[in-house]
Amino acid sequence: MAFNRFQDFLGGLVARQRSLFGSNHTPTMDELLSGLMGNTGEVSAIVAARELLDMYAALGDEDKLAFFVQLEQHYNAEPASVKLAFQNFEAAPNSTNLNRLYRTAEPKRMELLRRLNQTPDATHDLVAMRTDLLRFLKGQPELLSVDENFASLFRSWFSRGFLLLENINWSTSAAILERIIRYEAVHAIRDWKDLRSRIDPPNRRCFAFFHPALVDEPLIFVEVALGTEIPGSITSILEDNADGALDVSSFTTATFYSISNCQPGLQNITFGNFLIKQVVQELQHEFPSIKQFVTLSPVPGFNRWLQKVDDSESEVLTGLKTEFLDSDLEPGALAEKPEVLRKLMFNYLVQAKRGKYPADPVTRFHLGNGAMLHNVHTDADHSEKGLQQAYGCMVNYLYDLRHIERNHELYVTGGNVDYSDKLKSLLIKP
């Protein structure tokens, strides 16, 4: 690839520059920062960027935190310059002065991050750097502005136009397959045999987004099961080895049963909606008989909600929660109260809110993509994680291609939770 050849070229420049101008003096972090932001030549800047990134990677947490604090305190916009630019815009509110104000108001650390990204493999290092930053945010909320700068640049660098969709199969490189095993976040992949059962049979597909700057590193991937009906249990998918002959022309339903984000440093950078929409297009092209696109999704926030008392809930809903909890059921004893559990699950999905949107993160993701809540299943996930999070419940979200845009607009504008008629009887009125 041309991009990789260019990266190799830059890497060669860095090595030659270091050998030509190497000295016994090891620059400090401050010297590297000053040099990178100064009027140095392009090659010298590339070398300085690489040295700074390498130095950062070798730091302990205390020094990494100090680095981010320095970015927050000393790499902001100049207040006097911003004030003057604003005054000029206020006096003459034209596009020229607006652009000048925009450039002046941008924090210096934005340009620093751009310059760091000039050196080979820098994008990977900066994603790892933000992973560290996200760990520090809870205890250092003042660093949120620094994180917003990282996120702003990442949204540009990782925009849809740069993403490459690949079909992951048994002929994919071992390096990528190993990462698929490691990054699977929903249903753990036990071993290579388990991986093969998910990507090799004719009724299985796996698709991932990649970026040219992150070689062999998937950004996000989705696992898909192909069949003739909407599944209500993950066991039926994970234990289906597809040993017999399959008539691929009979497939009518594609089920997205696992979506995993792979790079913690790209948190809140949107990939999933693009991925699902493109995968739908790929599957429609390969299997024209498939008309139904659904998920079989976990409900990670259900148990936390169940244990929490909320004064805004109706007496009926609170009473139902109490009834279920007082029965002291073990997560595995689901058969005793399946309808109570199903009713609680449905009302959690449609009534529990974070602002105007559903509290459950998986629900927010799929409804935001234009899906609707299709069905709720008990006794669907017997894994330890599934039992702890949601008493074994799972949910189908339906991507009805005729209504995706309408559902998306209603959700975005009003937080509307669209659901199928079969679920209406489960609703407990607020």
Phi, psi of 368 (to 5 degrees): -65, -25
- Are the beta carbons of 125 and 217 closer than 8 angstroms? no
pLDDT number for residue 24: 59
**In this predicted structure, what is the pLDDT of residue 20?**
43
Q: Can you tell me the distance from the alpha carbon of 398 to that of 378, in angstroms, rounded to the nearest whole number?
A: 18
The predicted model gives 209-221 an average pLDDT of: 95
Mean pLDDT of 368-382: 94
Average pLDDT, stretch 281-300? Answer: 96
Say whether 302-426 and 161-295 share the same fold: yes
Task: Give the domain ranges of the chain.
Answer: 2-157, 161-295, 302-426
Give the per-residue pLDDT at 30: 87
85/129 Cα distance (integer angstroms): 32
Rounded CA-CA distance 306/300 in Å is 12
Question: Which pLDDT belongs to residue 413?
Answer: 92
Of residues 255, 276, 271, the one with CA closest to residue 207: 276
- Per-residue pLDDT at 89 exceeds 70: yes
The tens digit of pLDDT for each residue in 31-54 reads 888 888 886 667 888 888 999 999
Residue of 44 and 216 predicted with greater confidence: 216
**Of 3.40.630.180, 3.40.50.1950, 3.40.710.10, 3.30.70.580, which CATH number belongs to 161-295?**
3.40.630.180
Model pTM score = 0.88
pLDDT at 278 over 60: yes
Helix axis angle for 29-37 and 108-116, nearest 10°, is 100
Question: Whose structure tokens read 């975005």?
Answer: 412
pLDDT above 70 covers what percent of the chain? 90
The pLDDT value recorded for residue 188 is 94
Q: In the CATH scheme, what architecture does the domain 302-426 have?
A: 3-Layer(aba) Sandwich (3.40)
Q: Kindly tell me if the per-residue pLDDT of 9 is higher than 50.
A: no
- Mean pLDDT value across the chain: 89
Question: At 244, is the pLDDT very low, low, confident or very high (cuts 50, 70, 90)?
Answer: low
For residue 331, what pLDDT is reported? Answer: 54
What is the model's pLDDT at position 21? Answer: 45
**430 pLDDT band (50/70/90 cuts)?**
confident
Decide which of 29 and 23 is more confident. Answer: 29
Among the listed residues 212, 217, 218, the one whose alpha carbon sits nearest the alpha carbon of residue 4: 212
Convert the pLDDT of each residue in 93-132 to its tens digit.
Answer: 999 999 999 999 999 999 999 999 999 999 999 999 999 9
Residue range 161-186, pLDDT digits in tens: 999 999 999 999 999 999 999 999 99
Residue 205: is its pLDDT beyond 90? yes
Which CATH number is correct for 2-157, 3.40.228.10, 3.40.50.150, 3.50.50.60, 1.20.140.90? Answer: 1.20.140.90
| pLDDT tier at 5, thresholds 50, 70, 90 | low
Each residue of 126-149: pLDDT tens digit? 999 999 999 999 999 999 999 999
Judge whether 220 and 208 are in contact, CB under 8 Å.
yes
